[in-house]
Amino acid sequence: MPYTPEELRELTWYQNLIKADERNYLANRELLVNNAATSNESQLIRNESNQVLIFEDPFKDELLEDESTKITHSTKVNRLKNGDGDYIIDELLSRGFNEL
């Protein structure tokens, strides 16, 4: 029969298992942070697919806020108009009608 959550809180072996998992989680994060710092100028932790990995504090259930979780995004937008009547979009799209 499975243990209840109250029973698990009192079992030493289970609590040791939880603490070991938390230590392994933080050690893995530290290893990835160190690898990212040496190979990446932004210190973001990325996996093999170039996806950003974000870790949480296992003791507080909150996201860790440091250089490895800070993501900056440029809000610069390319203009579709250079000046009066000079549209870049006209260079991209052919708006003329052709006879079939």
**Residue 100 located in a structural domain:** no
Distance between CA atoms of residues 36 and 34, nearest Å:
5
**Residue 97 located in a structural domain:** no
- What residue numbers bound the domain in which 73 lies? 5-92
Look at the chain and report how many structural domains it folds into: 1
**Residue 25 located in a structural domain:** yes
**Residue 81 located in a structural domain:** yes
**Residue 57 located in a structural domain:** yes
What is the model's pTM?
0.56
**Residue 13 located in a structural domain:** yes
**Residue 98 located in a structural domain:** no
Residue-wise pLDDT tens digits, 15-53: 999 999 999 988 988 888 887 777 766 677 888 888 888
Residue-wise pLDDT tens digits, 59-95: 887 887 777 677 777 787 766 665 566 566 666 777 7
Nearest alpha carbon to residue 22 among 64, 59, 53, 54: 59
CB atoms within 10 A of CB 57: 14
55, 64 in Cβ contact below 8 A? Answer: yes
